Structure 1
Amino acid sequence: MDKIRADNVNRTGIYGQWLGILSMILCFALGIANIFTFHAVIIVFSALCLASSFIILFVEVPLLLRICPTSSSFDAAIRRVSTNYMRAAAYAAMAAVQWISLVGGHSSLIAAAVFLSLTGICYLLAAVRGQDFVGSKTLGGAGVAQMIV
């Protein structure tokens, strides 16, 4: 019974990681969809949404840091986002940028803001509960990156 309870408690980080992947897909799709508008402010926030999708991709799929040729400063910046608190802060910052996009008018970027906020909340809950970050094996976590080296 205690093992079942412990397994349920440690799932918050995994939910955050999978919500992060969903947020990445949404940010990419909505960034492309909104970049073709004729409103300059929305275009800027769409570009920021696209940039967020690539940052999320490298944060949530650590295997890509080994595969893709990136600079050492970029790798160091992405590796700093390794704890649940740092992930929650990163997602909160990306969500805040998308919430600010509402100043430029109503657009579908609000969906990205909502999902980025939900992801940040999941990581914050995992951090407050004292859980260590546990990556999904499917996304390159739990020692997959070390097997390539």
Structure 2
Amino acid sequence: MTIADELKSRNFSIYGQWIGILCIILCFALGISNIFHFDIIILWSVFLFISGLVLIFIEIPLLLRICPTSGGFDAFIRRFETNYMRAAIYGVMSLIQWLSLIRYATSLIAAAVFLLIAAVCYALAGFKGQAFQSSKTLGGQGVAQMIV
């Protein structure tokens, strides 16, 4: 199945996973760029950067096989194998970034918006009863087993 076929599948968990990849890029870029504020915004930017690291392992299951991680971290990441749990973690990450508006508006809002869109995609997949389907391109459904 190609990327185009995956996007035509009308499975919202695939959409959420691809938006999640965009979120990872935004988390790293905006997390690093907002660290230089030398203000309380540093807390939100550090959290965003750490969120990006966590999202890499959530969205690209192949990395759990390749990277040496602890058993506790693997167990934590495996909690997010359902649509509802992924919607929950994206929603919480988005809420935390929206709270950065307490201080003042920064580019962290872009990350909050995309994290919210990913949460909505995963929630829609759950509400529609669609089974979680991981993208084959990103290491899901058989690719990780071929490596080991």
Tell me the TM-score range normalised by the shorter chain: over 0.9
Structure 2 counterparts to residues 13-32 of structure 1, below 5 A: 13-32=13-32
TM score, norm. by length of structure 1: 0.92
What is aligned with 2:3? none
What is aligned with 2:71? 72
Segments of structure 2 that go 5 or more residues without pairing to the other structure are 1-6
Secondary structure at the residue paired with 1:64? Answer: helix
TM score, norm. by length of structure 2: 0.92
Distance 1:8 1:30 in 2: 30
Following TM superposition, where does structure 1 have runs of at least 4 consecutive aligned residues deviating by more than 6 angstroms? Answer: none
State whether residues 11 and 130 of structure 2, in contact with CA within 8 Å, keep that contact through their aligned partners in structure 1: no
What is aligned with 1:4? none
2:79 corresponds to 1:46: no
What is aligned with 1:126? 125
Give the fraction of aligned pairs with identical amino acids, expressed as a percent.
Answer: 59
Distance 1:27 1:94 in 2: 10
What is aligned with 2:107? 108
Question: How far is the alpha carbon of 1:10 from its aligned partner?
Answer: 4.0
1:11 maps to a residue whose letter is N
Distance 2:106 2:65 in 1: 36
Distance 1:68 1:104 in 2: 37
2:99 corresponds to 1:93: no
Segments of structure 1 that go 5 or more residues without pairing to the other structure are 1-6
Count of residue pairs brought into register by the alignment: 142
Q: What's the RMSD between the two structures over aligned residues?
A: 1.3
